[in-house]
Amino acid sequence: MIELSNLEKRFGDNVVLKDINVAMSEGSVTALVGPSGGGKSTLLRCINLLEIPTSGTVRIGDEALSFRPGVKVATRDIQRLRRQTGMVFQNFQLFPHCTAIGNVMEGLVTVLKWPADKARARALSLLEKVGMAHKADAWPATLSGGQQQRVAIARALAPSPRVLLCDEPTSALDPELAQEVVDVLGQLAVEGTTMVMATHDLRLASKVAREVVFLEAGVVVEKGPVDTVFRNPQHQRTKRFIATLR
Ligand code: ADP
Ligand code: MG
């Protein structure tokens, strides 16, 4: 369903992702783990093309794009691939001037040109799904971090993306509020939502994800089922890193 082939990303001379080859099946949940600066955020941003890969291929469902240094890819093609994805950020990034339901409706109305009442109905059902329907008319500033992140998840899901990308979705939250977000993402996983999440949160990775990709210095050191990689890592570097999380 998602396939990254020979993916490379450079910032100037700095090679941040090196020959990444990973595939994620439909309905799978993958945790991207590894030390800070290892390239997790860049990898997520290369999947939704917030960063343009230097070379390699990104495929999501039936949409694929290949990149080569110096060859510009049409904005329209980038947008077509990006629409297959929804993104959740560490610091929520809700629009402060929109209510909770306004945040969820925004993309449906402005980008997809849905009529407001249809967008409102969809937004309300998504707020229900994340347990936030009772706060539909609240302003982001009045919500806890966990509540804001749940609204952000509803917003990311609004256009029915094929994959939900989450960059450290619980890292800005106290453990109790992080748990709310873990519960919501866990429920989405049960419902078959395809997700890729960068995280340091062992609880999130082990409770929600089924697959792990361990990324260090831009290289996939190890990948496999959560149980195998966390309980019985094969590589010294993975072992050392997982010991630091416990
Ligand atoms: P992680 O999310 O695993 O902490 P990142 O993907 O944020 O890692 O960063 C990987 C490397 O890419 C780091 O060395 C970082 O400095 C570099 N990097 C990330 N974004 C940019 C950018 N926009 N310009 C230059 N370097 C960047
Ligand atoms: Mg990061």
* CA neighbours closer than 13 Å in the CB half-sphere of residue 243: 7
pLDDT above 80: residue 246: no
Residues in CB range of 184: below 8 A, 6 or more apart: 129, 130, 131, 150, 153
Cβ neighbours of 228 (radius 10 Å): 14
Q: Is ligand 1 within 6 A of the CB of residue 218?
A: no
Q: Distance (Å, rounded) from C-alpha 239 to C-alpha 110? A: 47
The pLDDT of residue 72: 92
Q: Distance (Å, rounded) from C-alpha 160 to C-alpha 170? A: 22
The pLDDT of residue 202: 83
pLDDT above 90: residue 144: yes
Answer whether 146's CB lies under 8 Å from 177's CB. Answer: yes
pLDDT above 90: residue 241: no
Q: Distance (Å, rounded) from C-alpha 92 to C-alpha 215? A: 24
The complex's ipTM works out to 0.98
Mutate to test the pocket of ligand 1, among 41, 44, 49 (most ligand atoms within 8 A of CB): 41
- What is the residue-averaged pLDDT of the chain? 95
Label residue 203 by pLDDT band (50, 70, 90). confident
How much of the chain exceeds pLDDT 90, in percent? 89
Residues in CB range of 185: below 8 A, 6 or more apart: 153, 166, 169, 195, 197, 204, 208
pLDDT above 90: residue 7: yes
Q: Please name the residue whose Cα sits nearest to atom 6 of ligand 1.
A: 39
The pLDDT of residue 9: 98
Q: Is ligand 1 within 6 A of the CB of residue 42?
A: yes
44-102 pLDDT, tens digit each: 999 999 999 999 999 999 999 999 998 999 999 999 999 999 999 999 999 999 999 99
171-196 pLDDT, tens digit each: 999 999 999 999 999 999 999 999 99
Q: Give the ligand with the smallest distance to the CA of 45.
A: 1
Q: Which of 189-193, 221-225, 227-231 has the lowest mean pLDDT?
A: 227-231
Higher pLDDT, 243 or 65: 65
Q: Is ligand 1 within 6 A of the CB of residue 37?
A: yes
Q: Distance (Å, rounded) from C-alpha 244 to C-alpha 66? A: 37
Phi and psi at residue 153, in whole multiples of 5°? -65, -45
Describe the strand order of the beta sheet including 14-24 as a list of residue ranges: 14-24, 2-11, 55-60, 63-67
